[in-house]
Amino acid sequence: MLIVTQNRDFYVHSTLKKRLPCQLACPHSNDATMLPMSIAFTDTRGLIKAPVSFTEAILAGLAPGGGLFVPTRLPHFDAQELSELRVLPYHARAEWLYRAFGVDLESEALASLCADAYGEQWDDPRIAPIRSLANGTSVLELWHGPTSAFKDLALQLMPRTFSAAIKKQRAEGGLNHDVLILVATSGDTGSAALSGFAERPHTNIIVFYPAGGVSEIQRRQMASQAGNNLAVFGVEGNFDDCQNAVKAAFNDAELCERLTTEANLQFSSANSINWGRLMPQIVYYLSATAELCATGAITPERPLDIAVPTGNFGNILAAWYAKHMGAPIGQLICASNENKVLADFLESGVYDIRDRLFTTTPTPSMDILISSNLERLLYELAGDGACAAWMDELRHEKRFAVDASTLAIIKNEFVGGWLSNDGTLAAIRRLYEEQRYLCDPHSALAVEVGQRLRSADRPLLVAATAHWAKFAPDVTRALTGTAYGAELPADYAACSEFDLMHKVQELAPGSGRIPTHLANLANRPERFNAVIPAGANAVRDAVLSFIQQ
């Protein structure tokens, strides 16, 4: 039986709230006290007047006033229901969760969107397989998708639901335009977003990346992306320059006007604060815990600790939502690199970015100062008033401190730890030498921090977020005992990143095959090699050239 709970106050005041059965369990009921089947969305800062539907929330992305969309309640599954997930193929598990939320898309459409999102483009039919290591540790491999990073799990499904949402709103007369998505990326997001939005009806996408600021593999992945609704530009500058120019484009009234009149388009973004990206991530935690329950590895009495390499806090927040929907999850271990603002926050309750110097690391996808999705956790634990005040402080003072009772709840569920750059490379090497399992730097960091902080009596699941071949140079450093940032040893110094993938295979027998699309990347034609100057004008001209082509 599916149970829903009043989410807003549930975690703090769980005993005060009455659980009501949802209509999904008894579709013929006419009982007026039943909650409606569809879960509506409100915002983290208490600024929107009426809750919105799933499709409205994902099309808007950010809530009016700057908050993030959050569900007004959560579905809740008991152990029996979760164990039933195990017999479904992965795409049906995703569909199952979307139905439990009562998303406002036709069920037939939803089924085919999920089947399409988790289909042939994955190199493992299980989509997110679990690999067992020694000492009660398992790894959830989230890199079997078309760009070999975990963002594919969200960015294969999200653009499909996004496209269907536009179609729905157009049919209902709520929207007259198609959308043009602008993405500023420092790495994995660009290629995963391009792959997800390529040829999706009613959508177009342009990606801007810092020329010289992404790896050769990442650049080629983007530059060779097929599709008629997309373009890619390098920007002479760093990631902030890209992001600022994209923001300027969104706020350029004249550009928006020309977009509408000349191409019938409207700007949109697809960043990781969109609820449409978080939902698919909850699926793999429900799915993984269902499988581990079925084998008897975990039970409601003996839950699982989960370690996640964390940047924007999206992936680990999805695990928290899965836990509060009933998955038997214990501690959530938040693994950081040398840019450890999150580890410090989870320890002290103080989020402070005033004097943080940014360092480069072998885990670039975690090099983040403001973890946007943390706002959702603060809302869930402390409510919209407190959340809005803290976000305001962060904007003005670059710092906020949560109250003692919120910190106590956070510490009850989360623990944070971090690893140095050379510690990360050592972790890759140790894991390979001890267990013949080769990991990318992000995943190895999470294994190491997870093993250090896990509860002794519980199994540990680690989210593995990228395939090692995407980070071949640092994996080569790890396997040859070379320090982070140092020149590669003579035998490797002249190799391209593509050559290094094969060198790694020689260095680490049993490390597995290189995903086909990465192995073929060096031979794929580059469609996009334009590099534009930094600044709003060049980005505006790039947008105009795209719509005029």
Ligand X SMILES: *Cc1c(COP(=O)(O)O)cnc(C)c1O
Helix axes 188-197, 216-223, angle to 10 degrees: 20
Rg (CA), the chain: 23
What backbone torsions phi and psi does residue 137 show, to the nearest 5 degrees? -105, 135
Least Å distance between CB 442 and ligand X? 4
CB of 451 to ligand X, least distance (A): 18
Q: Catalytic residue at 168?
A: no
Burial of 258 (0-12, 13-18, 19+ CB in 10 A): middle
For 27, other C-beta atoms within 10 Å of its C-beta total 8
Instruction: Report the residue number, 161 or 310, with the smaller CB distance to ligand X.
Output: 310
Establish how many alpha carbons lie within 13 A of residue 19's alpha carbon, considering only the half-sphere containing its beta carbon: 14
| Phi-psi category of residue 535: left, alpha or beta, with phi > 0 → left and psi -120 to 50 → alpha | left
Contact 310, 367 (CB under 8 A): no
Binding site for ligand X (CB under 6 A): 149-151, 188, 272, 309-315, 365-366, 442, 465-466
Q: 315 or 406, CB closer to ligand X?
A: 315
Minimum CB–partner distance for residue 466 and ligand X (Å): 4
Q: 10 Å Cβ neighbour count for 425?
A: 26
Closest to ligand X by CB, 286 vs 466, is 466
The DSSP 8-state label assigned to residue 2 in this structure reads -
Q: CA-CA distance, 74 to 376, in Å (whole number)? A: 14
Toward ligand X, which CB reaches closer, 210 or 311? 311
Which residue in 49, 151, 411, 503 is the catalytic one?
Answer: 151
Could you give the CA distance from residue 495 to residue 509 in angstroms, rounded to a whole number?
Answer: 19
The CA angle 264-268-273, to the nearest 5 degrees, is 165
Specify the amino acid at residue 407.
L
Of 151, 132, 233, 235, nearest to 189 by C-alpha is 151
Closest approach of Cβ 223 to ligand X, in Å?
Answer: 19
Which is closer to ligand X, CB of 151 or CB of 202? 151
> Measured between alpha carbons, how far apart are the two ends of the chain, in Å?
53
Q: Which is nearer to ligand X, 186 or 511 (CB)?
A: 186
Choose between 186 and 482: whose C-beta lies nearer to ligand X.
186
Tell the smallest beta-carbon distance from residue 263 to ligand X (Å): 31
The secondary structure element, H or E, covering residue 21 is strand 20-21
The DSSP annotation for 142-205 comes to ---STTSBTHHHHHHHHHHHHHHHHHHHHHTTS---EEEEEEE-SSHHHHHHHHHHTT-TTEEE
Helix (H) or strand (E) holding 511: none
C-beta closer to ligand X: residue 160 or 470: 470
For the bound state, the minimum distance from the C-beta of residue 424 to ligand X, rounded and expressed in Å, comes to: 12
Least Å from the CB of residue 533 to ligand X: 28
The strand pair at 130-132 and 137-141 is best described as antiparallel
Least Å distance, CB 169 to ligand X, is 28
What positions carry a catalytic annotation? 151
